[in-house]
Each structure stands twice: as structure tokens, then as C-alpha cells.
Structure 1
Amino acid sequence: MKTRKFALKLEIPKSMVHEIVHDTLGYQKVSARWVPKMLTEDHKLQRVEISQRLLLRCQQDNGDEDMTHIGVGPAEDF
């Protein structure tokens, strides 16, 4: 979601949303997306768990599933 949409939804200035996302939450903009500057242990664990589930799913399908159909990114982008 874009900072403008958050600002409209929360009825606060866009600059305040940017300050919260950047300064308070510690996210930075990379390739037009807000991403954490540093992954927490929870984030790292979540990435490993998701990767393991995807690998298991692919192995269970005996490679029948086309891996090009697996999306990466925020759910609202799909």
C-alpha cells in the first residue's frame, strides 16, 4: 500500500505516514517498495518456514507445478 493511501485512510498527513514507516518502523524504500532495513529473527524464521513449505509443495507435486507461477511480494499485489 502506498503512503498516500495510508494517509487518506488514517486521515493524517502523508509526511507523518512517511515518518512512521521510515523512522519508527525502520523501513526504507527499495524498488518502490517499503522493506525492513534489517530482518528481525521473526522475519528470518518466517522466510525459512515459507521457503520450506514451498519446497515441500513442489516435491509433493513431483515437479509438476510450474515454479514460475509462485508470486513473491505483498498479498495485495496479486
Structure 2
Amino acid sequence: MKRSEIALKLEIPKNTFYEKVHDTLGYRKVYARWVPKMLKEDHKLQVNESSCLLVGSQQDNGDEDTTQIGVGPGGDFRAKN
């Protein structure tokens, strides 16, 4: 799933999405996949909590479509089937 598609789905600007994923969550794009820069346990926990907060806030607003966005095994965002 492309950055622009996720931003559109979450109804936020592409730049805001990029800042949240890159700066706040600590992900960077490698070989067209978003992966954590650091693999320490405390960082993984922070990324997981931030991701849950982002998705949870969208669900609280009544946006059921956000349940279709997930993080793949390589740390990349994917649409769930």
C-alpha cells in the first residue's frame, strides 16, 4: 500500500503521514518497505504503542476502514484481507 493511499484512507496530508511514520515511529524506507531503524525491544514497544494509538484514534472517530491497515512482517504497511 502506498503512502498516499494510507494518508488518503486516514484523511491526513501525505507529509503528516510521512512525519509520523519516519520521525515519530522511527521507520525508514528500505527497498520500498518501511522498517524500524532500531531493533531494540523498547523501541519495538514504542512503535507498537504509537501504531495502536493512531489506529485506535481513527476507530474512535467512527472510521471502520482503518481496521484494514496493518503492519507486515518486514515493518511495511499493508492492507489486510
* Secondary structure at 1:39 match in 2: coil
Q: Of the two structures, which has the highest relative contact order with CA contacts closer than 8 Å and spacing of 6 or more?
A: 2
Give the TM-score, by structure 1 length: 0.51
Distance in 2 of aligned mates of 1:22 and 1:15: 10
Using the TM superposition, give the Cα deviation of residue 19 of structure 1 relative to its aligned residue in structure 2, in angstroms: 0.3
Give me the CA root mean square deviation.
Answer: 2.8
Give the TM-score, by structure 2 length: 0.50
Q: Percent identity?
A: 67
Match of 2:34?
34
Where in structure 2 are there 5+ consecutive unaligned residues? 45-72
Where in structure 1 are there 5+ consecutive unaligned residues? 45-71
Distance in 2 of aligned mates of 1:17 and 1:39: 22
Distance in 2 of aligned mates of 1:2 and 1:21: 13
Higher strand share: 2
> How many residue pairs are counted as aligned between the two chains?
50
What pairs up with 1:1-78 in 2 under 5 angstroms?
Answer: 1-41=1-41, 73=74
Deviation per residue, 1:7-54 (Å, 9 max, x gap): 11111110100000000000011001110000132788xxxxxxxxxx
Distance in 1 of aligned mates of 2:14 and 2:35: 18
Runs (4+) off by over 3 Å: 72-76
